[in-house]
Amino acid sequence: MPILMIGVGGFLIGGVVSAAKAKKPLPAIVLGVLAAVAIAGGILWLWPT
């Protein structure tokens, strides 16, 4: 599951790049925040306790 979350984060980063090239700042910001949360969640899930 954590690897899937990191993969989804990478997919969302692609959406950020696409939205930024299309000069649509609001979708780029939203996708960027979601990507950061997905990647951070995946990494923290893998973090040893």
Is there a domain that residue 48 lies in? no
Q: With respect to residue 2, please indicate whether it lies within any of the assigned structural domains.
A: no
Q: Please report whether residue 3 resides in a domain.
A: no
Residue 27 lies in a domain: yes
Structure tokens at 13: 């980063």
* Average confidence (pLDDT) over 33-44: 97
d(CA 46, CA 25): 32
Crossing angle, helix 2-21 and helix 25-46, to 10 degrees? 160
Q: Does residue 34 fall inside a structural domain? A: yes
Task: Count up the domains in the chain and report the number.
Answer: 1
What does residue 24 show for φ and ψ, rounded to 5 degrees? -120, 90
15-38 confidence digits (pLDDT tens): 999 999 999 999 999 999 999 999
> For the chain, what percent of residues have pLDDT higher than 90?
94
Structural domain span for residue 13: 8-42
Q: Which pTM was predicted?
A: 0.88
Residue 28 domain-assigned? yes
